[in-house]
């Protein structure tokens, strides 16, 4: 009996130890897995004018989850397993709505009406010049100061066969942020039972306009610290060089013999010091293969956790951003201050300043046609 008592005590101590808990799925993840793929809706606060914001958390049958909020159709949390099966949140953000209402670099938001930069905020369409807000001097960035990630979307769960999904919709009225046309936009987030996080974008207009929709999630597959040891592969032979204000020159250049070459898996920190002008990566790449067809754009692996993320997209380009704008001044989830290089963004999109570059893939959308794109973040661990 004495020996049996000692054995029971050892088992109890192991169960209480952090090391033991870290190597097994958490109780919440296990409970979610027991329910199978499903969606849970909850309140997430109110805006200053009293508008209620909701959260929709989608779970797959394995216990992975994505928390989405109607403010900005934002990806607020994304929990996926590491090599030991432990779930971890791999995106930056805030614990509450107040963080998202304040100043921040677009954490997790749906970006529109035009993602990335437009030179001096000007473009001409059908012979008329439009002047957008200059919110990234001297240029316009991510749809202006009140872009899609600063708007309240409507959300509704949708049934899918192999996981759970929620569709967000938003009507951007003619003249909003000085863009022409009433644009009806939607983004459907889907989490499959094989840990694929998919995004499908759709948009229609009643007047000629320009559209470039993307998502601005900041990923850290380790969950904290910097991403300099994350290993990145980019399926891109070409990139678009930029001027000192990060506007493309119009050239489409080879990545050969530059610190931008990630055609062979390379640690993000390996050559980042060679980029002297802006101090890191904030570059648009042309994804190899035909735009409109789903193909791999990137693969990221994190050695310690064993997590891997592949990015597949129908878009012609991907913006690789190494969070050079973070500096520890923003406190995010769990009271963590986000440092420089504390994440990486892989924003699947059309090229920056496309309305002013006829040689770039067009971002013009006309009535009677539909904008559509698909991006999938495929997670695994080993």
The predicted pLDDT at position 256 comes to 98
Q: Please check whether residue 232 is in contact with residue 265, taking contact to mean a CB–CB distance below 8 angstroms.
A: yes
Confidence label for 318 from pLDDT (cuts 50, 70 and 90): very high
The predicted pLDDT at position 50 comes to 97
Q: What is the CA radius of gyration of the chain?
A: 22
**Residue 39 pLDDT > 50:** yes
The predicted pLDDT at position 60 comes to 97
Residue 171: alpha-carbon gap to chain centroid: 21
Global pTM value: 0.92
3-state class (DSSP) for residue 33: helix
Q: Please check whether residue 147 is in contact with residue 112, taking contact to mean a CB–CB distance below 8 angstroms.
A: yes
Active site residues: 216, 347
Buried b (16+ CB within 10 A) or exposed e, 339-349: bebbbbbbbbb
The closest of 344, 268, 267, 278 to 311, measured between CA atoms, is 344
The predicted pLDDT at position 26 comes to 63
Backbone angles phi, psi at 156, to 5 degrees: -155, 130
Q: Please check whether residue 371 is in contact with residue 314, taking contact to mean a CB–CB distance below 8 angstroms.
A: no
Domains and CATH numbers, the chain: 1-35 (no CATH), 36-381 (2.70.98.10)
**Residue 13 pLDDT > 60:** no
- Structural tokens at position 144: 């202006």
**Residue 164 pLDDT > 70:** yes
3-state class (DSSP) for residue 212: strand
Q: How far apart are CA 360 and CA 238, in angstroms?
A: 13
Residue 280: alpha-carbon gap to chain centroid: 19
Buried b (16+ CB within 10 A) or exposed e, 36-75: ebebeeeebbeeeeeeebbbbbbbbbbbbbbbbbbbbbbb
CA distance to 11, 47, 117, 165, 201, per residue, from 54 (Å): 41, 11, 30, 15, 20
The predicted pLDDT at position 1 comes to 41
Q: What does the pLDDT look like over 193-231, one tens digit per residue? A: 999 999 999 999 999 999 999 999 999 999 999 999 999
The predicted pLDDT at position 306 comes to 98
The predicted pLDDT at position 35 comes to 82
**Residue 49 pLDDT > 90:** yes
Q: What does the pLDDT look like over 50-99, one tens digit per residue? A: 999 999 999 999 999 999 999 999 999 999 999 999 999 999 999 999 99
- Structural tokens at position 135: 């919110």
Q: Which residues pair with 307 in a beta bridge?
A: 381
Q: How far apart are CA 52 and CA 94, in angstroms?
A: 17
């Amino acid at each position: 009996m004495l020996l049996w008592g000692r054995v029971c005590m050892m088992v109890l101590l192991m169960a209480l130890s952090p090391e033991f808990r870290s190597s097994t799925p958490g109780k919440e993840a296990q409970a979610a897995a027991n329910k199978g793929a499903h969606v849970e809706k909850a309140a997430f606060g109110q805006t200053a004018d009293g508008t209620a914001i909701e959260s929709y958390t989608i779970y797959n049958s394995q216990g992975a989850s994505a928390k989405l909020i109607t403010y900005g159709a934002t990806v607020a949390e994304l929990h996926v397993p590491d090599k030991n099966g432990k779930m971890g949140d791999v995106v930056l953000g805030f614990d509450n709505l107040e963080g998202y209402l304040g100043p921040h670099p677009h954490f997790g938001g749906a970006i529109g009406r035009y993602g990335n930069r437009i030179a001096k905020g000007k473009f001409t369409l059908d012979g008329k010049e439009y002047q957008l807000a200059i919110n990234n001097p001297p240029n316009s960035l991510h749809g202006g100061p009140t872009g899609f990630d600063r708007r309240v979307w409507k959300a509704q769960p949708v049934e899918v066969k192999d996981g759970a999904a929620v569709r967000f919709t938003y009507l951007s009225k003619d003249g909003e942020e000085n863009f022409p046309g009433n644009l009806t936009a939607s983004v459907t987030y889907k989490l499959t039972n094989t840990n694929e996080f998919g995004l499908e974008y759709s948009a229609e207009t009643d007047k000629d306009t320009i559209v470039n929709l993307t998502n601005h999630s900041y990923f850290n597959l380790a969950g904290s610290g910097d991403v300099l040891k994350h290993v990145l592969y980019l399926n891109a032979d070409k990139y678009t060089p930029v001027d000192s204000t990060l506007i493309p020159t119009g050239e489409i250049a080879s990545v050969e013999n530059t610190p931008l070459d990630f055609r062979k898996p390379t640690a993000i920190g390996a050559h980042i010091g060679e980029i002297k002008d802006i101090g890191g990566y904030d570059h648009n790449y042309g994804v190899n293969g035909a735009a409109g067809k789903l193909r791999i754009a990137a693969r990221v692996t994190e050695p310690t956790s064993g997590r891997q993320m592949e990015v597949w997209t129908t878009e012609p380009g991907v913006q690789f951003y190494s969070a050079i704008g973070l500096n520890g001044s923003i406190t995010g989830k769990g009271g963590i201050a986000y440092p420089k290089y504390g994440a990486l963004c892989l924003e699947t999109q059309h090229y920056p300043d496309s309305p002013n570059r006829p040689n770039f893939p067009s971002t013009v959308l006309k009535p009677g046609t539909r904008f559509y794109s698909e991006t999938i973040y495929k997670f695994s661990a080993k």
